[in-house]
Structure 1
Amino acid sequence: MTSEIGAVSGLRSSQVAAAAGVNPQTLRYYERRGLLAEPDRSLGGHRMYPPEAVTVLRVIKAAQRLGFTLDEVADLLDTGRHRHGRRPDAGLRTRAQQKLAEVEAKIADLRVIAGTLQAAVDAGCDDLVTCAGEPCCPIPFTAITVGAPEPTAG
């Protein structure tokens, strides 16, 4: 945003970082990753961000808390910027459904792990090698593959 005399208005890095609750180095990192547009510079060379940069940063951080990687966030931001002519299934709803399925699968895996650990605690397992040799050992030493189906007897 330039005025008639060539001055650039906006927010300095420290102001944007404080408003979004991030470190100023995070701004530069997100610029390098292409998540945040490179800002204009003041006559003195200071980065001057538009107020919308705060919203973009908050969106990035919220998406990360929901489990999206920075690559996924970049794709979501890009999709949002270029909605015209894009696949209708490339938006947030589809991505959120996919991420939800991933999270639910992880929760299921964690429940199996938690149950096995609780069984080990309840059984009084104190030594993995000794426990592994006992028939009552609850830890499946032969088939610990989280997310994979259990082998069937037969």
Structure 2
Amino acid sequence: MRSSSRVFRVAAIATQSVIFTLAGCGNGDYPEMARVTGTVAYNGKPVPNMMVNFMPTEGRPSWGKTDADGKFEMVYDSDYKGAKIGHHKVYFTPPATTIDGGTSKQSRKAIAAASGLTAAELQNLRSKYGSESETKLEVDIKNDPEVLDLKLD
């Protein structure tokens, strides 16, 4: 009888330890965040269906997708919307609408159409803002909430 009560106590203590440990794994693991929304326009026109990527100086990136009006909301992960407070490089990737990676002429036209751009405009956007290494667009996230109007040319 004594050994079963001892086993019960050990199991109860172990269960409590796990619960307290998991309860401590909350917001403390996240950097200081801000809710970030905005719009993307290319030559004055809203850009729909474009992935917006924020790459901070340090840490993990945030992303968003523009809607039909070029509006976006950044997402940090499945639990948090927003972006890390601080400096970010901003780059854009078109929607993946084809299985060949956009290599054929037909695929490039389909991707451009989905983003509301001509094939030439999409190529220009990709060459200027299409990767973290190429983009010159940078933003500083300082406030919560932060509203950005990203005007591309």
**TM-score of the two chains, using structure 1 as the length reference:** 0.21
**TM-score of the two chains, using structure 2 as the length reference:** 0.21
Choose between structure 1 and 2 for higher RCO, CA contacts under 8 A separated by at least 6 residues. Answer: 2
Bigger helix fraction: 1
Bigger strand fraction: 2
